[in-house]
Structure 1
Amino acid sequence: MKLEQISLPVNNTLLSEYWSGSEKLHTFFQYPLQDESYLERAKYLKNRNYQTKQLSEIIRSFMEPYGLTDKIKENLSYLADGSPVIVGGQQAGILTGPLYSVYKAITVILLAKEQTQKLGIKVLPLFWIAGEDHDIEEINHTYTILKAEPKKRVYSVRKNRKTMASTTDINKIELKNTIDDIFKDFGETEYTQNLYQFIIHSIDESNTFTDFFVRCMHSFFKDEGLLMIDAAYVPFRKFESNFFNQIIEENEKIAEVVVLKERILSDSGFGTPIVATIENANLFFVRDGERFLLERNENFYINKQANVKFSKEELQEIANKNPENLSNNVVTRPLMQEMTLPVLAFVGGPGELAYWATLKDAFEVLNLQMPIIVPRLNVTLVTRQVEQLLKDFELKVENVFDGNVNELKNKFLESVQDYQAKEQINQLHELVEVHYGKLLEHLHGQQIHLDNIVEKNKNYHQQQFDFLQSKIEQQIVMKHEKMIRQFNTISSEINPMNNYQERVFNPYQYVNIYGPSFISDLLDLPFEFTNTHYIVRM
């Protein structure tokens, strides 16, 4: 593997400004992104009391069914003793979801190693699984490449109820059918059989989306000692009981400051990432695994769809006795992380950075500090096949992102068109128009009025000419199929559907080609935390 850095246009203005240390963002974040901030944050955490022994046991009990390596056990001991953590998280997608889930974990691990060295204290990597999220449509699919084009592969089982990923049972037969389709698209390599058997075994051992996700992620990062916790894990929810109470106690104030902060963020030109409202309680009520967002209405917390209505005291009673029946949203999840974990830094993508920018004052309402926010690594993988094609066409990776590949393909298609055939068909169109005009003129002279029939007959012939033209064009494309497929391969692999590769494909596409050490090989690369896009040439 060879690592390179390139500069790409940043579509996210807030991310660009954040990397530059812009004064415009000073009031939205607690710490600037610099070395001194880690020292300051570490001192702050040292003076706070976290129940890390209990937390360590909860994480141990969550991870035990998936297997505890020596490195994980060691990190759990450090956590019990109060070591700070680098946190990143993601929803429980199929086959880990898009590559950026893995890149988040890699960023978390590498940043923890870096800060362990710089601070002289043990810093631990922790992955927060958003198993409480209920938008199954976001996580029930992945993409492969089929015939040089991105192909969406969907686990198509649907449920009427919006249950959380951690409580949504998977239909193992249907999921295996989806996996079969995915692996057919991958193609056979020397690694395929073992990889396929691992995935099928993982499905057999899993009950929910979260189970399957954890098994996939754990297989990649267990030897790195990556700790994982599911937000919806019941023992963890019970651990959060008192913290839910604090959020309920300050609920109205939290909503007020977030709405105001988002308004200021919008006025500064950074949009409204949350679209926060004063009435939003920023908490869900959970019933039979299904989440219902609560709103404040006068002195009550309500959800009309679920037909629930709680007074503040009743909601606090739920927090005390059955905290597993409560769940956080995009506003209160970061607050809950801060209350439960000694977070040195949070690793997030561009979207997460945007909504965290609305939360600084909400942290302060609860007498908390927002942690350091670190953008995750951005990576594009260039396979050996694509590398060769780029050389053949004398292209750089940057050219793919700026649309040059599509321009080249269109120029090529233009160059191979049969213009003589097209011209002759155009002449046929004109001849038909002329002769049908003469026929109509003759019929009118004979007092015969068949205009509609003549027009229909003429259109039929014109359609046949168009059909003939399309068939000629198809034959030309087929004749040059190899060249067109090469252009499509470059675009589809590097910039699929005009999107970043890391947002579309899952890591197993590359593990299937380069083997089980693929992720550990990525971890060995000399990544730095900078505002650049990384290219990994395989």
Structure 2
Amino acid sequence: MPTDCLSYQESGYFSTLITDYLNEKPELKALYHRFPNLENFKLQLEEKGNSFIGNDNFKREVLISVLEKQYESIAISKETKQNIQNLINPKTFSITTGHQLNLFTGPLYFLYKIVSTINLCKELKNEFSEHNFIPIYWMATEDHDFDEINYFNFKHKKISWNRESFGPVGRLSTDGIEDVFAFFESEIGLGNNAESLKNLFKKAYLEHNTLADATRFLANELFSSEGLVIIDADDADLKKSFIPYIKNELIHQTAFAKVNETTPLLESYSVQVNPREINLFYIEDHLRERIVFENGSYAVLNTKLTFSEEEILKEVENHPEKFSPNVLLRPLYQEVILPNLCYIGGGGELAYWLELKSFFESQNVTFPILLLRNSVLLATEKQAAKADKLQLTWRDLFLNQQELFNQKTKLLSEFTIDFSTQKEVLKKQFEELHKIAEATDKSFLGAVKAQETKQIKGLENLEKRLLKAEKRVHQEHLNRIISLQNELFPNQSLQERKVNFTEFYVEYGEELIEKLLKGLKPLEMEFEVVVL
């Protein structure tokens, strides 16, 4: 099978902002605290250890209490239980990833985020054995974009949960999801792994009342043996620690000012998220609406709720759970309540984190290390053997399809389909004509240039016609190449963004997770190819 590897930068699937971050471009260094390497983790440990201090370990005690309450209704592994208990220890720190509550995990990269987090904890434990490192999955229970999460793909079919949703998705009732299960059951087929998947879906979604509870059960079933700790931050006790920051946002609107100060540093990139004057929502079970300051009072959009400054500050004190941070304020909330060293996310997530460093500094909260999650291409042994037979590298298969088509046609051809040499010879001949024209009649110069352009263009057209002819000659071989690429890159996109884990689990079962845990190396920052 192919043995080559490629960096994220070489893959062609990441934005300029992320590739510049990975290349540690000097112009971006003001936007992050420390780059992810072991030496910097040592410094981060010291700084976070000094800053994450509550009265008599109060923050850690609250965190443990909330987690124990949230795990009451599901079986907990000894590894996860030990990790929760270890949180009381000042030498225990977290590595966190976050993700939406996608139906049955959504795209494959849900797994890659969590495995990256687990494996980084293992690597840090090997390096800093006197500390404990806890992998945390932060469930995005307060999101409201249900249309982004209400489906998953299985063998080119979209399996959707169609219902109305208002308010934070974590509180959404699982009533009516039986129809989704019935359709999935009819599609998945027979076999032990198929039965395991059906039971997993049934126990997660048919035996739990809310989407948050269902997602916690699902992630716990997949990763509890690795000690994964799952947190739902939509919790009154956790938000009590965040009250001072909620008040600051309402009264001083610091995030708006600080993020806008950062924007000029990102002017050559597409800014990921624009701040609002107030980056908070007001939430109840069936309500999640923005808070705005208008005409001297605070209002909740699309409702009749209004507050004076005194009233809204009292509401924060009495009901902090009703105040939900948006995408720009949520990172601060996370770092306030967790002893966290590093956030692991996709390119889009890291892009908005890079807007936040000066805001964190204004709040005296340590900015975490930012690590791009592992990206993975899953291939079967049969596909790897096919790549070998077709003399393809993994790097080849990441190419744009037209570029791959052209490159392989040129390699398969018995003669060179590249007239670069001829074009260079032609240009040198015309250099002499240019000199003659300039020395005799300069009006002749335009005619010489026009003739040069015409002849170069003629060679390029001949090159294209020859390439097209050779494509026809080697059509069968080229079709096999493109067929393999289409299998690995559905719709010419990354597999991890389209395919659900069930497509591989139904064939390989627990071996899928085992191979990911064995193969993913978060700090190497290479696009992993995992052969099943």
How far did 1:211 drift?
A: 2.2
How far did 1:401 drift?
A: 2.8
Return the alpha-carbon distance in structure 1 between the equivalents of residues 173 and 479 of structure 2: 40
Query: Paired residue for 1:131, among 137, 141, 144?
Result: 141
Question: Where does 1:113-152 land on structure 2 (aligned, <5 Å)?
Answer: 113-120=122-129, 121-145=131-155, 150-152=156-158
CA contact (8 A) 2:241 2:336 kept: no
Compare 223-232 and 187-196 and name the one that shifted more. 187-196
CA contact (8 A) 1:93 1:140 kept: yes
State the partner residue of 1:441.
none
How far did 1:249 drift?
A: 4.5
Are 1:37 and 2:54 matched, yes or no? no
Aligned to 1:18, what secondary structure does the other structure show?
Answer: helix
Query: Paired residue for 1:322, among 313, 319, 324?
Result: 319
How far did 1:514 drift?
A: 0.7
Query: Paired residue for 1:79, among 87, 97, 108?
Result: 87
Return the alpha-carbon distance in structure 1 between the equivalents of residues 318 and 250 of structure 2: 14
**CA distance change for structure 1 residues 517 and 388 in 2, over 3 Å: closer, same or farther?**
closer
State the partner residue of 1:168.
172
State the partner residue of 2:350.
353
Are 1:337 and 2:341 matched, yes or no? no
CA contact (8 A) 1:360 1:369 kept: no
Aligned to 2:98, what secondary structure does the other structure show?
Answer: strand
Instruction: After superposition, give the CA deviation of every residue in 1:3-36 in whole Å (9 maximum; x if it has no partner).
Output: 8632412531111111111111111112233333
Aligned to 2:255, what secondary structure does the other structure show?
Answer: helix
Return the alpha-carbon distance in structure 1 between the equivalents of residues 101 and 388 of structure 2: 38
State the partner residue of 1:370.
367
How far did 1:357 drift?
A: 0.9
**CA distance change for structure 1 residues 484 and 209 in 2, over 3 Å: closer, same or farther?**
farther
Query: Paired residue for 1:284, among 281, 284, 292?
Result: 281
State the partner residue of 1:106.
115
Compare 36-45 and 398-407 and name the one that shifted more. 398-407
Return the alpha-carbon distance in structure 2 between the equivalents of residues 496 and 311 of structure 1: 53
Are 1:535 and 2:529 matched, yes or no? yes
State the partner residue of 1:95.
104
State the partner residue of 2:229.
227
**CA distance change for structure 1 residues 30 and 299 in 2, over 3 Å: closer, same or farther?**
farther
Instruction: After superposition, give the CA deviation of every residue in 1:318-375 in whole Å (9 maximum; x if it has no partner).
Output: 2211112111111110010111111111111100111011111111221112111111
Query: Paired residue for 1:20, among 15, 18, 23?
Result: 23
Structure 1 residue runs without a partner (length 5+) = 413-481
Aligned to 2:279, what secondary structure does the other structure show?
Answer: strand
What is the identity, as a one-letter code, of the residue corresponding to 1:141?
Y
How far did 1:407 drift?
A: 7.0
CA contact (8 A) 2:62 2:238 kept: no
**CA distance change for structure 1 residues 493 and 95 in 2, over 3 Å: closer, same or farther?**
farther
How far did 1:257 drift?
A: 1.0
- Number of paired residues? 454
How far did 1:404 drift?
A: 4.0
How far did 1:242 drift?
A: 4.5
How far did 1:261 drift?
A: 1.1
CA contact (8 A) 2:106 2:153 kept: no
Question: Percent identity between the aligned chains?
Answer: 25
Return the alpha-carbon distance in structure 1 between the equivalents of residues 529 and 127 of structure 2: 26
What is the identity, as a one-letter code, of the residue corresponding to 1:162?
F
CA contact (8 A) 1:3 1:536 kept: no
**CA distance change for structure 1 residues 3 and 525 in 2, over 3 Å: closer, same or farther?**
farther
Aligned to 2:377, what secondary structure does the other structure show?
Answer: strand
Structure 2 residue runs without a partner (length 5+) = 410-475
Compare 208-217 and 24-33 and name the one that shifted more. 208-217
State the partner residue of 2:65.
57
What is the identity, as a one-letter code, of the residue corresponding to 1:5?
C
**CA distance change for structure 1 residues 11 and 126 in 2, over 3 Å: closer, same or farther?**
closer
Aligned to 2:293, what secondary structure does the other structure show?
Answer: strand
How far did 1:396 drift?
A: 3.3
Return the alpha-carbon distance in structure 2 between the equivalents of residues 404 and 243 of structure 1: 49
Q: What's the Cα RMSD here?
A: 2.7
CA contact (8 A) 2:281 2:288 kept: yes
Instruction: After superposition, give the CA deviation of every residue in 1:282-316 in whole Å (9 maximum; x if it has no partner).
Output: 00001333210122335433233123322333222
Are 1:216 and 2:218 matched, yes or no? yes
Return the alpha-carbon distance in structure 2 between the equivalents of residues 172 and 528 of structure 1: 35
Return the alpha-carbon distance in structure 2 between the equivalents of residues 60 and 35 of structure 1: 31
Compare 332-341 and 487-496 and name the one that shifted more. 487-496
CA contact (8 A) 1:21 1:33 kept: no
How far did 1:93 drift?
A: 0.6
TM-score, normalised with respect to structure 1: 0.78
Are 1:293 and 2:294 matched, yes or no? no
Instruction: After superposition, give the CA deviation of every residue in 1:236-291 in whole Å (9 maximum; x if it has no partner).
Output: 345544543344344x222111122123312xx122110224x3x10000133321
**CA distance change for structure 1 residues 198 and 158 in 2, over 3 Å: closer, same or farther?**
closer
How far did 1:388 drift?
A: 4.0
Aligned to 2:307, what secondary structure does the other structure show?
Answer: strand
Question: Where does 1:169-248 land on structure 2 (aligned, <5 Å)?
Answer: 169-170=173-174, 171-181=176-186, 184=187, 186-238=188-240, 240-248=242-250
CA contact (8 A) 2:238 2:337 kept: no
What is the identity, as a one-letter code, of the residue corresponding to 1:66?
I
What is the identity, as a one-letter code, of the residue corresponding to 1:6?
L
Aligned to 2:378, what secondary structure does the other structure show?
Answer: strand
